Structure formats: C-alpha cells, structure tokens
Structure 1
Amino acid sequence: AKPLFNVPAVWLGAMVPKRWAKRAVTRNTLKRQIYAVSQLYQADLPAAAYVVRLRSSFDRTLFISATSDALKLAASTELHQLLERATRPPLRGRTGVDT
C-alpha cells in the first residue's frame, strides 16, 4: 500500500471541533497543548502526517474556566499517554497506532 502523504518529516495537525469544545478560547488552548506536547515527541515519531482530534467533550462542571490549569493538566496528561503509545515500536505483525 502506498502512503497517503509521503512526507520527509513529521507533520502534525490539531482538530478540536466546536461540538466538543464550545468556547473558542478552550479550542485554542487545547490546540496549543497539542502542539506543545507533540514537540516533545517529534524526534521519536516516524516521519508521517498525523492528526490529533478531540473525540469527546470535557465536563464543564469539572473544568469551569475555559483555560483552567486543571484543563491544561488533563489535556497534557492524555496527550503524553497518546504520544507515548505512538512512539512505541509496533507489535510484530501490526503497524500504526491503535485507536
């Protein structure tokens, strides 16, 4: 199979839909977190195009402020876990990252 994007380096995109993060300030904060944390792992990721997408909402009762430290910590922790998995070598007979 031929890769969709044959890139010589790591390309990373962040997608934070309004559906899951209603406030623009929250969406921008989450995107900044995605780009900041991904910089720490960029050297370990294989050259490819990646998209990090928010798949569910954050509970607004737990994260009242749109840019709270608690929200940033929760997002950062989850991103570290995701990128740790992405940098691990694939299991024998499998390629890519599990979803």
Structure 2
Amino acid sequence: MSKFGELIDVEIPVLLEFYTDWNDQSTAMHVVLRDVAAALGDKAKVIKIDVDKNEELAEALRVKALPTLIIYKGGEMKWRQSGEVDANSLIDVLQEYL
C-alpha cells in the first residue's frame, strides 16, 4: 500500500474511481472521467482502480458500491461518493480543492 500513499500524497487533487469491467455504471463513468481529466489537465489527477485487481485496497477503503469516487489531496480524503456523477458536478467538486 506504500505505492497508494505516494499516489495520493500530492498537492493537487487526486480523483480515484473504484470500478470493475463487469459493472455497467462503472464502465459508463469512464467517459465522464475522461472528460473531467481533459477539462482539468494537469491541475488534478484522475485514476481508475480496478477493484478485482486491487481487492486489498478496496477492502481497506471499505468500497462497497461501484463505482465509488474518492478525492484525496495531500494524502487526506476530502470527498467520497458512490454511484454515477456527471462530469460538470465532478469538475465543480474538484475545483474546490485546487
């Protein structure tokens, strides 16, 4: 999990999406996340984490529903939500932490 710590312990917001390929809501979010990443450029990171390949991390963060979206900044969780969110709403939330 030390790699995870390095991933989130940065001064720009990091949006994580916990997903699986077999979950339709998760796969629908991929397009939204691409739009968010394009809109914010290098002001924020957008990272997708496959729950099937990262079970230990998902369990440690108590990810129960998919997709689960979490924003970290400076190693601290700032925001969390499960379910689909539109691109504009995610951009608005991320801008609070820029």
TM-score normalized with structure 1 length: 0.36
* Structure ranking higher on relative contact order (CA contacts 8 Å, 6+ apart): 2
Higher strand share: 2
Higher helix share: 2
TM-score normalized with structure 2 length: 0.36
Is the radius of gyration larger for structure 1 or structure 2?
1
